Structure 1
């Protein structure tokens, strides 16, 4: 594969593990989940982002 790419002047893709990530991504969730997360954030006096990040980390 890499020989074929080199022959045509293409650059091989960077492996996923070596890519840089911004830490941002957009995700759409049901309205009920958004509400539940927002309420949990308010009860804990933290941001919605923090609650969502913590829950994603545990998943």
Structure 2
């Protein structure tokens, strides 16, 4: 998250949106990955997306006004390609054995499994 001066606005279009059907509400719901506490219900997918984008714009304006950190768009974040995963020792051993049998590194094996 970054703090932006009041005169700098993050483009609302750069955030990660999704529209899905809500059987409980009987309407489409707009969501934004960077703002998981926000949602917008509407009769059409287009209206749900439009409403959600307006809600995000309002949330950003409020956060800037309050001096709060504004989430960076996921699409603009830099990723190292590394992350740690804790697994049970037995699973670690089984994966290491599979990697050895296939003649690949453990990292390569896990990467292939994640990509599948």
Query: Any gaps of 5 or more consecutive residues in structure 1?
Result: none
The CA deviation at 1:17 is: 2.5
CA RMSD of superposed structures (Å):
1.5
**More strand as a share of residues:** 2
Instruction: Provide TM-score, normalisation by structure 1.
Output: 0.79
Q: Give 4+ residue runs of structure 1 displaced > 3 Å after superposition.
A: 8-11
Query: Any gaps of 5 or more consecutive residues in structure 2?
Result: 1-58
The CA deviation at 1:11 is: 4.8
Structure of higher RCO (CA pairs closer than 8 Å, 6+ residues apart): 2
Deviations along 1:5-25, one digit per CA (max 9) or x if unpaired, are 232344522112321111110
Instruction: Provide TM-score, normalisation by structure 2.
Output: 0.45
